[in-house]
């Protein structure tokens, strides 16, 4: 029996720090996200502990009656603990070389493996929503589809949703389409 995972990128936020909240537009997106998720058979929700991720899924939790499990493994990847002027080039390089890391940051491989460990721990036949961040989402999807990388990261939206069906084969489908 296939394991279904909906990997969700948070809605629009005011910043990148863990405490950054959703913007007013982000709160509206969260309501649209809840509508999108309502009839997908989701049985559990695991989220990054970051405020923007938890706020993004709250309207769905309110409507569905499900509870949230926060998991540090879904927190955004830290590219570097010090500011990087050419961070976009460094990020691109980190997709090309998954073992590269910068100034106290996490390599793409390390980040992908911690996120994948969440999916690996889910029971067969389950249907779970994972709420995370753009970089980690891209790295995680890249674990199942090696063609998914930097260029795909660049076109992600806030929010975004991908369905990963894991059985004898893996099937990935983007389900969120901007209106």
Convert the pLDDT of each residue in 106-134 to its tens digit. Answer: 999 999 999 999 999 999 999 999 999 99
CATH number at residue 55: 3.40.50.1240
Task: Please count the structural domains in the chain.
Answer: 1
Reported as half-sphere exposure (CB side, CA atoms, 13 A), residue 8 has a value of 30
85 belongs to a structural domain? yes
pTM of the predicted protein model: 0.95
Tokens representing 24? 């007013």
Task: Specify the pLDDT at position 14.
Answer: 97
Convert the pLDDT of each residue in 33-44 to its tens digit. Answer: 999 999 999 999
130 belongs to a structural domain? yes
Reported as half-sphere exposure (CB side, CA atoms, 13 A), residue 129 has a value of 32
101 belongs to a structural domain? yes
Convert the pLDDT of each residue in 54-82 to its tens digit. Answer: 999 999 999 999 999 999 999 999 999 99
Whose CA is closest to 158, among 3, 39, 16? 16
The Cα 57–Cα 43 span in angstroms is 14
169 belongs to a structural domain? yes
User: Which domain does 99 fall in, by range?
Assistant: 3-174
34 belongs to a structural domain? yes
154 belongs to a structural domain? yes
179 belongs to a structural domain? no
Task: With beta carbons less than 8 A apart as the criterion, state whether 149 and 134 touch.
Answer: no
98 belongs to a structural domain? yes
Convert the pLDDT of each residue in 18-33 to its tens digit. Answer: 999 999 999 999 999 9
């Amino acid at each position: 029996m296939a394991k279904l995972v909906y990997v969700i990128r948070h809605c629009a936020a005011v910043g990148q720090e863990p405490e950054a909240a959703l913007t007013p537009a982000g709160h509206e997106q969260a309501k649209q996200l809840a509508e999108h998720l309502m009839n997908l058979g989701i049985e559990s929700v695991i989220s990054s502990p970051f405020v923007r991720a938890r706020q993004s899924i709250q309207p769905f939790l309110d409507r569905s009656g499900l509870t949230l499990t926060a998991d540090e493994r879904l927190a955004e990847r830290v590219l570097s603990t010090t500011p990087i002027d050419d961070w976009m080039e460094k990020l691109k390089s980190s997709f090309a070389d998954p073992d590269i890391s910068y100034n106290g940051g996490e390599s793409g491989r390390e980040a992908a493996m911690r996120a994948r460990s969440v999916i690996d721990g889910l029971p067969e036949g389950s249907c779970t929503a994972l709420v995370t961040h753009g970089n980690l989402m891209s790295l995680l999807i890249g674990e199942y589809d090696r063609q998914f990388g930097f260029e795909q990261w660049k076109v992600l939206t806030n929010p975004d949703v991908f369905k990963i069906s894991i059985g004898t084969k893996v099937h990935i489908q983007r389900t969120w389409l901007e209106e």
